[in-house]
Structure 1
Amino acid sequence: MSRHARLALAALLALLLLADQIFPPPLQARQAPQAQVVVARDGTPLRAFPDRQHIWRHPVRLEDVSPRYIEALIGFEDRAFWWHPGVNPWALLRAGVLWLQNGRIVSGGSTLTMQVARLLEPTPRTPAGKLRQIVRALQIELRCSKREILEIHLSLAPMGGVLEGVEAASRAYLGKSAQRLSESEAALLAALPQAPSLLRPDRHPERARAARDKVLQRMAGRWSASAIADARQEPVIAQPVREPLLAPLFAERLRRLQPHAARIESTLDAAMQQMVEQILASRLGILPPRVSMAALLIDNATLEVRAYAGSADFSDSERFAHVDMVQAARSPGSALKPFLYGLALDEGLIHSESLLADVPQSFAGYQPGNFQASFSGPVSVSEALQRSLNVPAVEVLERLGAPRFVSLLRRGGLRLELPPGASANLSVILGGAAVNLEGLVGAYSALARAGVSGRPRYLAGSPLVESRMLSEGAAFIIRDVLESGGPVARMVDGGIGSRRGIAWKTGTSFGFRDAWAVGVSDRHTAGVWVGRPDGTPNPGFFGANIAAPLLLDLFAGIDDSPPAARTPPPGVSSARICWPLGTRSEGLPATLCHQQRTAWILDDTAPPTFPDRLRSGPARLTDHRDPATGQRVRPGCAGGAMRAVEMARWPAALEPWLDPALRARVLPPSWTAACSSGEGGSGDGLRIVGLSNGETIRRAGDGPPATLRLEARGGEEELIWLLNGRQVGRVPARQAFTLRFAEPGSFQITVLDRAGQHDRVEISVR
């Protein structure tokens, strides 16, 4: 080659390079707005959000697409794709000859790279347009690898209507990921870009079938004859194009967290999510209008969320469909009680059978009642938790301290929202604070995770956030009580309750506004909420009758494996304890051990029963008996020898609730005649005088409050007067006590003395 020719060639190349730099291919178009899709852990789309032009476009990588589709696409469109420089001269020559012969374009001769050029920069189907495609294809090949070029085509190829890319088409028409295409499906989708509108399988199945068969014919020699024959036999059936809508509120939440991500990979299990939504839908018929539901299910091992339903029905605006009640802060009712008793165990205040008083009581003016509007008298911690009794819970919280309880919950990862300007008080254990379902489920997971709670994880790569809620021993005891009733129930029913393997607790907020149920199994923790998002009460809707059945149905649907056998962790043991003292029974005589129970104890410690709130003095007292009659005597009135007897005292508030046989056995006997007269009693016990049971006291119109002068006979030393379980006064025996009633109502008046005697009347003030 001459020197001039070489210079001319160099100048031409330089000119081409300069033109290439001045007029680069529009590769930035591949960064066009993309549809967002939130997918389950197996890739199933949960919800998709189109781009601003309402185009469904899901960019994919080569490994996200079935190899069958890649083979069909290249085999049908561009067999020389892997070796040509962007243009196939033989294909162009053939297309030109056919054009001259027929007077029209019969075959475009386009390579996949040229098609990508047209996708990035649309051009008219003219010779000038074709020339522009050729130039752009060459430029693209200089800048991109074959893999990158193919991925652009996989993401942008028109697939009919508002669908672009093989993933969007596969999901919309076939209801599956492009990773799982059969030979027939791969051939069908490979043919679509030839004429997307005319070959849509949902509208023109016969045309689509003919186009598919044409692709299959071209694959002869690349696919086996049997595979092609089987593919031809498959019918072309496409589902109507519609937006995926599974866990819609969850998907919207993740979209807000990652607004710029094209594909958001969540932790949800698509099958579990469908099951949860179906169970919620099955309940809609029994719910009043405007009542919604929410459910959350997490995996205990990973804290990953497997199912998330923020509302009952996303299509029903009357049920506040778009309000996500998984995140809404609501009153939990009694749902915090397991943590109260667990933390009290860790603080050494109680064991599982500690004696508590389910009787009317006043705690510095706060007078809680039970949901059933009745009382049970002496109960254990296990019974109080299983039956969700309110007064015993407040009694334990008073000993633990409400501010400390709230602080310990926060340390364990559960934050309570208190009313504006309010501080923690005894009402928090009965729903006087707010939590959300997400936080409650994360906290309950501690019962199945050795006391460690965690924040539910929604994204596959999100960090693991854990907190120590309870000790491993306390978590074991609380779960055992909720699951089977504890050691006493195990002895009574053989542990039947534990065979289902679910420990759960309900809650009902004041006014029936919120019904809760949260539970754990070996593998999962789940929680449900039922109510009106606007806070309107639903009379008759409470946790046990509306939320608990829903929760148990969820567990039945997802966790049917038998529970694993559990053994107490280090620090937990069983021991025989005594009521009323609450301590171990070993070495205690019958006078100090009125009832024996089997308890779970923590760290080999059996704490005693709480100090008497009404009566001061030690839990043990010593009196003297006449050896002949067994009656009580004292120095100065005893006619002969005396026998000292040490007795255990029941809390004064519980003595009126003991059954007659137990009272006769455990309370001090009557005084001898010689000693009783010295106390002003008749030997017939303590009695309220001047006021009969069921009496009605009438006020004088709008005059001053009704005033009663209360007197009792037969008491010893000091009398304690109670009004509706609240102490209102202490006076010496034989002294009257005046009580005023500012408001009408029904009242229970009780009098106690230090010897355990009591009397009670119920009156009405009108």
Structure 2
Amino acid sequence: MGGRVDGPPPRPGWNLRLLAAAALIGLCGVVAGAGNAGLGRLAAIRADLPPTPDLAELPVSPVVVDREGQLLRPFTTADGRWRLPVTLAEVDRQFVDMLLAYEDRHFAVHHGIEWRSMMRAAAQYALAGRIVSGGSTLTMQVARLIEGEPTRNLEGKLRQMVHADALEAQLSKDEILTLYLALAPYGGNIEGVRAASLAYFGKEPTRLSAAEAALLVALPQSPEARRPDRAPDAARAARDAVLDRVASAGVISAEEAELAKREPVPQLRREFPKLAAHVADTAVRMHPGAREIGLTIDRRLQAALERLGSRRARALGPEVSVAIVVADQATGDILASVGSAGLLEAASDGFVDMTSAVRSPGSTLKPLIYGLGFELGLAHPESLIEDRPTAFGGYVPVNFDGLNRGTVSIRQALTESLNIPAVIVLDAVGTPRMISRMRRAGAEPRLPGNTAPGLAIGLGGVGVTLRDLVSIYAAIARGGTPVRLHDGASDVPGLSADAAPVLDPVAAWYIADILAGVPPPLNGTPGRIAFKTGTSYGYRDAWAVGFDGSTVIGVWVGRPDGEPVPGIAGMVAAAPILFESFDRLGRPLVALRDAPAGVLFAANPDLPGPLRRFRHPDDMKVKRDAAPEIAYPVDGVDVDLGLAAGSERSLVVKVRNGSPPFTFFANGAPFGRTAFARQNSWTPDGPGYVTLSVVDARGRSDRVTVFLD
């Protein structure tokens, strides 16, 4: 152990030590003689001493550490002090050697009081009439720190000596030194060498330069007057004095001392680490009274992703935040949890942990929909499905771009994130089954007002969190087997070995294979990971979730207050962050799982007949290829185009259902034809009634009459 101090030689008897102390006090004129009265006074002081602190119970700052024990975030003590737990093994040995050489050369052999120093101090007092030098040992300084009272008077000095004697009787030298390392004042609300090293140097005290160690030795003697952030010149002078003393004592060479003096003194107090701030805050709330709480977080990865999230958010606007979750597929360990673009970013509500905020997932649940279709034997990735206007009662989904592709494979439908095929398949597999499988994965889907799940859940009409999505994709990546995500902040029960699967292995593999072929964003390389993006209604949430063979990562981008952010689609805003997050794992990507038994490798013509085309189990339930309808303007309404004021604004006519191309008419006269688009513009001659018509490729039509003014 660095800096370990051997025990002292045999201690003189209690009476001899008391007599020596009484003689010293008598010399100082405090006690009239060193007889029975003096001994009685010393015994009374001894009886009045506070209890000796137990190192294991000494009030310290709660600290949250990562999976390797590295500091993520400390918190102040109940009385607002930074006093971090520390052991001798965690402190640079050179610092300990300097401390002993400068403060207490005979620490290893005395019994709490260095009598020669005390006699010298007493003689100086007798000659000067005031305390010139204290003569305090490290043990006496620990006694003063425990008492919390000043000792610049003889009464306090006497009490300190008696207390030091008691400490030496109860503690080892290493324990006394450890108490000093934890309690020594360093200015303001900083106590202990570990807190001081983090505050002034931004690092743990395990490895210190000679200049840094010397400054930490000097500060406790006059912590406020020498604070480097307030009095850098005084701090430098005190540090250099320590360097000279320890050089003369042979702890370092004279050359090392001179080089150390050239090192600048820190002039700012640094912020304490706040890595994984949201998770750390939860951990402290869940473990009140704990001195150290270990999380599953990887400190290096967490720091890298917090920087990435902050940089990407700044580029998107001051009110935009970013959340990232990284999980190990095998164990469920959360390796990084970035809750916001910055804890203290007020404009983007950085205090809100967006990894656990309930939001609309957009299209990110489509892989699970198709996976259920594969599992139920309704489809294969190469099965054909219709991407045509389709109504489900009063629910009429449309694609994100408003276009229809006609007949496509399910692989294409998922790769291009088409909405209509996804809803068709969801209607076939059933929304209750979909919600049940989400829960199997460890997600907690929230439905509006606890209503029954409708088909809109397939396109984002359900509330989920980023952690929910990561748990769902982790199950897909694991071949359908769920894993419980956990970060160590709270006790989360694990899943039993026979937990119900989210998907069967073949269905999960089909999904992973399709997602591996999704075209990446501009900063990505094709085929490296399987991933899916999503954008919620109104551009409020942008998502990207993906996995390789070992790790699953989820990204959310948006405003915590739920306001729209025009243009933040999942592929544009979230996917680039996803790919950069994988780049920061610090290792090569792991290949996806091999195909399990039962996977059918076949092109569409080679599939069994029932799998060549997706067929809804109840064809009568789905209105396929319905007749065209004019969605806007609605029949019988007044449309204000400002025509009465002489404006020449155009009227936009929008169509749903039907088969393109569409021909548009106004009062029987054609004014446009579109090959795929479902809207067209017409400029009227003036105000008045107009009959608008549309005819699709199959000759079906619709008409409305409106008044324009």
Give me the TM-score of the superposition, normalised by structure 1. 0.71
Q: Distance in 2 between matches of 1:445 and 1:336?
A: 13
2:451 to 407, 417, 422: 422
Alignment of 1:554-569 (within 5 A): 554-556=581-583, 558-559=584-585, 561-566=587-592, 568-569=594-595
State the match for 1:172 in structure 2: 199
Cα offset for 1:167? 0.7
The one-letter code of the counterpart of 1:724 is N
1:510 to 520, 533, 537: 537
1:225 aligned onto 2:253: yes
Cα offset for 1:199? 2.5
The one-letter code of the counterpart of 1:759 is R
Decide whether aligned partners of structure 1 residues 237 and 133 sit closer, same or farther in structure 2, where only a CA change above 3 A counts: same
State the match for 1:738 in structure 2: none
Cα offset for 1:26? 3.9
Decide whether aligned partners of structure 1 residues 25 and 421 sit closer, same or farther in structure 2, where only a CA change above 3 A counts: closer
The one-letter code of the counterpart of 2:552 is T
1:525 aligned onto 2:464: no
State the match for 1:133 in structure 2: 160
Are the equivalent residues in 1 in contact too, given 2:86–2:181 (CA < 8 A)? yes
State the match for 1:477 in structure 2: 510
SS state at 2:451 partner: coil
State the match for 2:702 in structure 1: 763
Q: Distance in 1 between matches of 2:79 and 2:587?
A: 48
1:273 to 290, 302, 311: 302
1:240 aligned onto 2:264: no
Structure 1: 5+ residue stretches without partners: 490-495, 585-591, 593-604, 617-650, 657-687, 703-722, 727-743, 751-757
Are the equivalent residues in 1 in contact too, given 2:361–2:534 (CA < 8 A)? yes
Cα offset for 1:612? 7.2
The one-letter code of the counterpart of 1:478 is I
1:583 aligned onto 2:607: yes
Q: Distance in 2 between matches of 1:100 and 1:13?
A: 19
Decide whether aligned partners of structure 1 residues 358 and 85 sit closer, same or farther in structure 2, where only a CA change above 3 A counts: same
The one-letter code of the counterpart of 2:265 is I
Decide whether aligned partners of structure 1 residues 401 and 60 sit closer, same or farther in structure 2, where only a CA change above 3 A counts: same
SS state at 1:526 partner: strand
Alignment of 1:75-474 (within 5 A): 75-100=101-126, 103-121=129-147, 122-220=149-247, 223=251, 225=253, 228-229=256-257, 232-244=260-272, 245-288=274-317, 290-459=319-488, 465-466=494-495, 468-474=501-507
Are the equivalent residues in 1 in contact too, given 2:604–2:612 (CA < 8 A)? no
Are the equivalent residues in 1 in contact too, given 2:549–2:591 (CA < 8 A)? no
Q: Deviations over 1:141-171 (max 9, x none)?
A: 2333333222221111011222111011000
State the match for 1:68 in structure 2: 94
Cα offset for 1:405? 1.3
Are the equivalent residues in 2 in contact too, given 1:443–1:454 (CA < 8 A)? no
Q: Distance in 2 between matches of 1:497 and 1:235?
A: 44
Greater mean deviation of Cα atoms: 467-476 or 179-188: 467-476
State the match for 1:706 in structure 2: none
The one-letter code of the counterpart of 1:236 is P
State the match for 2:48 in structure 1: 23
The one-letter code of the counterpart of 1:35 is S
Q: Deviations over 1:384-439 (max 9, x none)?
A: 11111111111221221110111111112112111113012222111111111122
Cα offset for 1:209? 3.5
Q: Distance in 2 between matches of 1:697 and 1:187?
A: 80
Alignment of 1:526-675 (within 5 A): 526-556=553-583, 558-559=584-585, 561-566=587-592, 568-579=594-605, 583-584=607-608, 609-611=614-616, 614=619, 653=624
Q: Distance in 1 between matches of 2:634 and 2:424?
A: 35
Q: Distance in 2 between matches of 1:43 and 1:234?
A: 34
Cα offset for 1:548? 2.0
Cα offset for 1:456? 3.7
Q: Distance in 1 between matches of 2:254 and 2:484?
A: 52
Cα offset for 1:127? 1.4
SS state at 2:407 partner: strand
Are the equivalent residues in 2 in contact too, given 1:352–1:382 (CA < 8 A)? yes
Q: Deviations over 1:637-682 (max 9, x none)?
A: xxxxxxxxxxxxxx9958x9xxxxxxxxxxxxxxxxxxxxxxxxxx
Are the equivalent residues in 1 in contact too, given 2:225–2:234 (CA < 8 A)? yes
Greater mean deviation of Cα atoms: 292-301 or 26-35: 26-35
User: How many pairs were matched up?
Assistant: 615
The one-letter code of the counterpart of 2:614 is T
The one-letter code of the counterpart of 1:63 is A
Cα offset for 1:134? 0.9
The one-letter code of the counterpart of 2:210 is E
Cα offset for 1:366? 2.5
Cα offset for 1:745? 11
State the match for 1:724 in structure 2: 657
SS state at 1:759 partner: coil
Greater mean deviation of Cα atoms: 117-126 or 561-570: 561-570
Cα offset for 1:498? 7.2
Give me the TM-score of the superposition, normalised by structure 2. 0.76
Decide whether aligned partners of structure 1 residues 359 and 12 sit closer, same or farther in structure 2, where only a CA change above 3 A counts: farther
Q: Deviations over 1:507-564 (max 9, x none)?
A: 12222222211122345322222223232333433222222233233334x1475434
Q: Which has the higher strand share?
A: 1
Cα offset for 1:120? 1.0
SS state at 2:602 partner: strand
Are the equivalent residues in 2 in contact too, given 1:157–1:166 (CA < 8 A)? yes
Decide whether aligned partners of structure 1 residues 652 and 98 sit closer, same or farther in structure 2, where only a CA change above 3 A counts: closer
The one-letter code of the counterpart of 1:417 is R
Cα offset for 1:240? 1.0
Q: Distance in 2 between matches of 1:760 and 1:527?
A: 47
Q: Deviations over 1:158-187 (max 9, x none)?
A: 112221110110000011001222333222
Are the equivalent residues in 1 in contact too, given 2:202–2:270 (CA < 8 A)? no
SS state at 1:27 partner: coil
Q: Distance in 2 between matches of 1:16 and 1:523?
A: 71
Cα offset for 1:381? 1.9
The one-letter code of the counterpart of 1:515 is A
Query: Which is higher, the Rg of structure 1 or of structure 2?
Result: 1
Are the equivalent residues in 2 in contact too, given 1:748–1:760 (CA < 8 A)? no
Greater mean deviation of Cα atoms: 286-295 or 146-155: 286-295
Are the equivalent residues in 1 in contact too, given 2:283–2:490 (CA < 8 A)? no
Q: Distance in 1 between matches of 2:694 and 2:516?
A: 37
Are the equivalent residues in 2 in contact too, given 1:583–1:608 (CA < 8 A)? no
The one-letter code of the counterpart of 1:330 is R
Are the equivalent residues in 1 in contact too, given 2:340–2:352 (CA < 8 A)? yes
Q: Deviations over 1:730-749 (max 9, x none)?
A: xxxxxxxxxxxxxx999988
1:56 aligned onto 2:61: no
State the match for 1:668 in structure 2: none
SS state at 1:177 partner: coil
Q: Deviations over 1:90-126 (max 9, x none)?
A: 3322332344455543432212111111001114311
